[in-house]
Structure 1
């Protein structure tokens, strides 16, 4: 590699090239050289010559080639990973006994990102009978954890530094899940492939994906999206988000709601307004693990709250999310003693205002 490439990126590319079979990786290398003597013609048709310093640039592109194919049988549908013979059977029947699995990772690419938490909850005859939860040491190349991952998951470098490696923990995890079918949110596209890529010994899975079920049964235009935090809010499930153990519990409860076709409407829509925040001025900055930025604004507007684009003298609450930018409005709000809220404190405020309005209406 010629020129400056961040150390972590170059190591990731090197591992990817070395790890994957040649027929499963498309490696493209392009080189460009410029400079030397030249001859040109100006607008007056005058020919002139010159010379520029030589320079060389090299572009390396690594892409995984498609390896998944779908084949349909009479009773089941397989997703087959031709690269490593991973087989996922999509179940088409209600499950009363299952394990709900969720993981947290250092990133989304299973080729060089690592598991940092693995969790599962076990249900037998619809009763929660056991849980599995462990932080996982991702290796020194992934430590310390990035600020983004720490903010998103609440998992710190200290949590995983002394934890067992994935190889250390996989045996006990496999024993825990046994031969029960799996459920999870986006488990077909992420959790199962990621775990197998990480070295899980199981190669054949019987599973249901709550994201796919929700896509068939719920109206995305009302909810905004079908992320697990959104479905948690929709069904009124009281669990944290972006923690593997909490998410595995949430996915299990969401699955039971979807399975039994229980669709209580928790989110307010335009036909179900409760103007408990009527006239209150809010400034929303950044993103949130539980709701995206637009969803947060919509929930405030539906209750009559006023959204401001920047701090003003009318600002009463600043909803402070995760952001990499510096906003002058944040400092202005601090200087004027504006109350700061995170997601949980906003929910508490909304619940209090909703209850106050209901008491007033009664």
Structure 2
């Protein structure tokens, strides 16, 4: 089967099509995007699967995908889409692309959370081009993702006018609520920690891979929580931690790292704390406009002679051998 690019270039060489486009005011780039979009949309209509999956008939060949955006509102923009292709329950390929935000700036909190900066989007392809490439990548395979029915799919429909609902096999958020899992909620970060998956969060490619691993556990009916190995169990034994700021790895992940290694996490800063983990402050209600109450309390305790160490997230990861 020819790729979308091959089909697009073939059509552009057609004399009748070429004459029409040359008489338009479209640039060469926009001519290509127009034909590419038509090819991708028409192919998508022909590729919609009709399979119905159950717990005992979950696919082993599928696409796990995720997106990153400038925010949660429909007025925001998609800035990254990524996917991993699984065949026989093994990753065989992946797709990842930044997307031109059409002038929408990435805020500091979103940039810190995702690791994506405005500079990353300079020269990035348009949403139409990236989505066409994404459709080409997923081909006939069913889709899985975490909370995609509530977040990804409506936004892709709104922003790219592509309806992927009929291609979805499993939403792991909804599916997890039907399974015998000992968890308080069904967030991706919670499931990641439940299965001991140590990967970054809020990056579309990493989250796609995390979702696929979680799905494989579901497919294999592995519902037991993964216990950390004894070799790391007591590495933080006896130490008390407090944290402040926008924790990039996620608070649940950070607390899991600490408690699984024998450490203790407290909410308030006091003389009993051994380490204060500090990440950039992005809150608007800081005590003095720069520092959190925990940072101010830390400085007071240091001035009173208490031996408390202030470290960054990166320092903490090096401390436990994860960086």
TM exceeds 0.5? yes
Q: 1:128–1:329: structure 2 CA closer, same or farther, 3 Å change rule?
A: closer
Q: Which moved more, 1:123-132 or 1:230-239?
A: 230-239
For residues 207-252 of structure 1, what are the alpha-carbon distances to aligned partners after superposition, in whole Å with 9 as ceiling and x for unaligned?
2111112111144xx4333221221222122321100011111111
Structure with higher RCO (Cα < 8 A, 6+ apart):
2
For residues 1-50 of structure 1, what are the alpha-carbon distances to aligned partners after superposition, in whole Å with 9 as ceiling and x for unaligned?
xxxxxxxxxxxxxxxxxxxxxxxxxxxxxxxxxxxxxxxxxxxxxxxxxx
Judge conservation of contact 2:237–2:263 (CA < 8 Å) in 1. yes
Match of 1:213 among 154, 175, 196: 175
Aligned equivalents of 1:288, 1:90: Cα separation in 2: 39
Deviation at 1:154, TM superposition (A): 0.4
Match of 1:283 among 229, 237, 242: 242
Aligned equivalents of 1:306, 1:237: Cα separation in 2: 20
Q: Over alpha carbons, which structure has the higher Rg?
A: 1
Q: Which residue of 1 aligns with 2:131?
A: 170
Judge conservation of contact 2:62–2:142 (CA < 8 Å) in 1. yes
TM-score normalized with structure 1 length = 0.61
1:310 and 2:275 equivalent?
no
For residues 110-157 of structure 1, what are the alpha-carbon distances to aligned partners after superposition, in whole Å with 9 as ceiling and x for unaligned?
3x11100000111122221211100001111x12x1001101100000
Gaps of 5+ in 2: 1-47, 303-307
- After superposition, where does 1:24-63 map in structure 2 within 5 Å? none
Aligned equivalents of 1:229, 1:207: Cα separation in 2: 21
Q: 1:286–1:267: structure 2 CA closer, same or farther, 3 Å change rule?
A: farther
Q: What secondary structure is seen at the aligned counterpart in 2 of 1:223?
A: coil
Judge conservation of contact 2:62–2:87 (CA < 8 Å) in 1. yes
Match of 2:118 among 144, 149, 157: 157
Aligned equivalents of 1:124, 1:186: Cα separation in 2: 22
Q: Which moved more, 1:121-130 or 1:94-103?
A: 121-130
Q: Which residue of 2 aligns with 1:259?
A: 219
Q: Which residue of 2 aligns with 1:330?
A: 295
Q: Which residue of 1 aligns with 2:187?
A: 227
Q: Which residue of 2 aligns with 1:339?
A: 310
Judge conservation of contact 2:156–2:162 (CA < 8 Å) in 1. no
| Bigger fraction of residues in strand | 1
**Root-mean-square deviation (Å):** 3.2
Give the 4+ runs in structure 1 shifted more than 6 A. 86-90
Q: What secondary structure is seen at the aligned counterpart in 2 of 1:216?
A: coil
1:116 and 2:79 equivalent?
yes
Q: What secondary structure is seen at the aligned counterpart in 2 of 1:195?
A: helix
Deviation at 1:188, TM superposition (A): 0.9
Q: What secondary structure is seen at the aligned counterpart in 2 of 1:318?
A: strand
Q: 1:285–1:87: structure 2 CA closer, same or farther, 3 Å change rule?
A: farther
Aligned equivalents of 1:190, 1:88: Cα separation in 2: 22
Judge conservation of contact 1:317–1:341 (CA < 8 Å) in 2. no
Aligned equivalents of 2:219, 2:151: Cα separation in 1: 22
Judge conservation of contact 1:170–1:200 (CA < 8 Å) in 2. no
Gaps of 5+ in 1: 1-85, 269-273, 353-362
Q: Which residue of 2 aligns with 1:76?
A: none
Q: 1:282–1:184: structure 2 CA closer, same or farther, 3 Å change rule?
A: same
